[in-house]
Structure 1
Amino acid sequence: MRKLIYGMNLTLDGYIAAAGDDIGWGGPGDELFQWWLDQERASSLSLYGRKLWETMSSYWPTGDQQPNATPAEIEFARNWRDTPKVVFSSTIDKVDWNTRLVTGDAIAEITRLKAGDGGPMSVGGAMLAGAAMRAGLIDEYALVTHPVLVGGGTPFFTALDSWVNLDLVETRMFPGGVVLTRYETRR
């Protein structure tokens, strides 16, 4: 069975985007960017909701061609293009860059993918990850918490029907007061 990991940058008050989908508060420094690159390299399949897909696909297909791209950004862009992706959406009709579109039941498809062979999968996007959370499909949470309060927006966590017990497996400090906490779901 494949492992499903939900990890994103978030504010200290728990939001992955401030009001108006503003993510300007969370620019990663070099060390944190390298950590995200390592996570992306370790993932064999990326699952995206529509909004996160639109954000990622608006930049990373050509991110390595930007004039000031760092070596890590160049590698991230190349890895992003090469990694298989699945986008879950009923409002878009076309995806590119090694990506497959699923318009039907996201939970059924994620369950099918988890049951298959292969390496870890990452899930991103609040609505998609929230549905996977409620269905009990997330095996690991990676919270990269930035020292900023935004007061509202898109929360990292969703309302749940029951408790989810977690085990802390890693903590790490990054420059600028950013803190990684990684948890595994206790089964």
Structure 2
Amino acid sequence: MRKLIFGMNVSVDGYIAAPGDDIGWSGPPSDELFQWWLDQERASGLTLYGRKLWETMSSYWPTGDQQPGASPAEIEFARNWRDTPKVVFSSTIEKVDWNTRLVTGDAVAEITRLKAEDGGPMTIGGATLAGAAMRAGLIDEYVLATHPVLVGAGTPFFTGLDSWVNLDLVETRTFPGGVVMTRYETRR
């Protein structure tokens, strides 16, 4: 059975985006934080995206290694992003590229099926998609890279749940700029 990991940059008050889908508050990551995210991406055998995050990632990373001034880590991230199998869940997108499959049906049923397969860990991104997986009890690990900023409103990292989810803290780490990463496993 595959492990499902939900990790994103988050504000201290719990948002992954400010109003208007603004993620500028997270600023460019430090080299150390970017490398950490790259290592997480390398460890993932499959990435699951909701539509909005897919559109953000696919607007840059297919050619991120060709951008002027791209660092070695950015070049590696772009190459890894293209090579890693991806699944996009959307009822409005008609076509996806870059080693990606589109699912227009029941996301929870498909994620459940994918978790039952053999293979490396899967990462999930996008508030709506991750929220559905959270409510279904499918997420095994939560990773929050908390930035020292309050944005006041926007897209929350956590969705409303029907019942408590108990977590075990398995790792903390501080990065330059005051970013604190906390990693939790779901207690089963």
Q: Give yes or no for TM over 0.5.
A: yes
Q: Distance in 1 between matches of 2:18 and 2:68?
A: 28
2:78 aligned residue: 77
Cα distance in 1 between the residues matched to 2:42 and 2:174:
21
Identity %: 87
Partner of 1:168: 169
Q: Distance in 1 between matches of 2:167 and 2:79?
A: 33
C-alpha distance after superposition, 1:94-128 (max 9, x if no partner): 00000000000000000000000100000000000
CA distance in 2, matches of 1:13, 1:71: 32
Q: Which residue of 1 aligns with 2:110?
A: 109
- 1:74 and 1:43 map into 2 onto residues whose CA distance is 18
C-alpha distance after superposition, 1:122-148 (max 9, x if no partner): 000000000000000000000000000
Q: What CA deviation, in whole Å up to 9, does each residue of 1:66-93 have, x standing for no partner?
A: 0110000000000000000000000111
1:142-168 CA distance string (max 9 Å, x none): 000000001000000000000000000
Question: Does residue 18 of structure 1 match 2:18?
Answer: yes
Consecutive aligned runs of 4 or more in structure 1 exceeding 3 Å deviation: none
Q: Distance in 2 between matches of 1:139 and 1:179?
A: 20
Structure 2: tracts of 5 or more residues without a match: none
Q: What's the counterpart of residue 128 of structure 1? A: 129
**Equivalent-residue separation in structure 2 for 1:63 and 1:13 (angstroms):** 30
- Secondary structure in structure 1 of the residue aligned to 2:57: helix
Aligned length: 187
TM-score (norm 1): 1.00
Deviation for aligned residue 1:25: 1.1
Let me know the Cα RMSD of the aligned residues: 0.3
